[in-house]
Amino acid sequence: MQENIERKKNFRPAFSYDFLTPFYDFLTNISGFGKSLKKRVVGLLDIQGNEKVLDVGVGTGTLLIELGKSYSNLELVGIDPDPEVLEIAEEKLARFNIEAQLIRAYAQELPFQDSSFDLAVSTLTFHHLKTDIKKKATAEIYRILKSGGRFLLADFGKPVGPISFILLHIGSVFDGGEEMRANLRGEVPILLRNEGFTVEKVGKRYLGIEFFLARK
């Protein structure tokens, strides 16, 4: 019982409220955080052939669809704790004829063997996690990556101007102040390095989002 309670405390649905889940794709696409962002992420992944890829916080499956459309030789896996978005993702993947394995799981408790993935990616998921959960999730991602494996983390970074500062702090009302704290302080790359990753910033900042490529 206590474990289930703790899981609920550490889980936020898409846009933080269940009633918004059916509108997730529409809202993210019109705000620039949907398909256009996922295409940017795909362009930064440096795909190297027949690789096994894990999407941590797969949401409605948009990134897996873009990956499947761009590369036919990838083994695609996605995890998310939200059963409602996984149902949407399954329907979308079938519609686009993209093969991928979807698993209900938490980023801090990945149900995979050590060194079993070539590449992991997480897009706008980490800012939903409290700092201690971020640390556990980072450790789990490091564990499941092969030696030389890569992890691309795309999420909100430290504000660089007054408008960015205001918007990100307004966003923290929905996502929780503690969850956003490490992002707003620019501590995400530090968490990655503390786990053993070599980290570099890649791509251009986009709508307050920074892109970090971490190598094991």
Task: Give residue 130's domain range.
Answer: 2-215
Tokens of 61: 């499956």
Asked if residue 149 lies in contact with residue 118, where contact means CB atoms within 8 angstroms, the answer is: yes
> How would you list the strands of the sheet with 101-104, edge to edge?
101-104, 75-80, 52-56, 117-123, 145-156, 209-215, 198-206
The shares of helix, strand and coil residues in the chain, as percent rounded to the nearest 5, are: 50, 25, 30
CATH number at residue 127: 3.40.50.150
Asked if residue 79 lies in contact with residue 103, where contact means CB atoms within 8 angstroms, the answer is: yes
pLDDT tens-digit profile, the chain (216 residues): 333 434 444 555 554 545 455 556 656 667 667 788 999 999 999 898 899 999 999 999 999 999 999 999 999 999 999 999 999 999 999 999 999 999 999 999 999 999 999 999 999 999 889 999 999 999 999 999 999 999 999 999 887 655 454 555 555 444 555 777 788 788 999 999 999 999 999 999 998 899 999 999
What Cα–Cα distance (Å) separates residue 118 from each residue in 18, 37, 152, 177?
33, 22, 11, 33
How many domains are there within the chain?
1
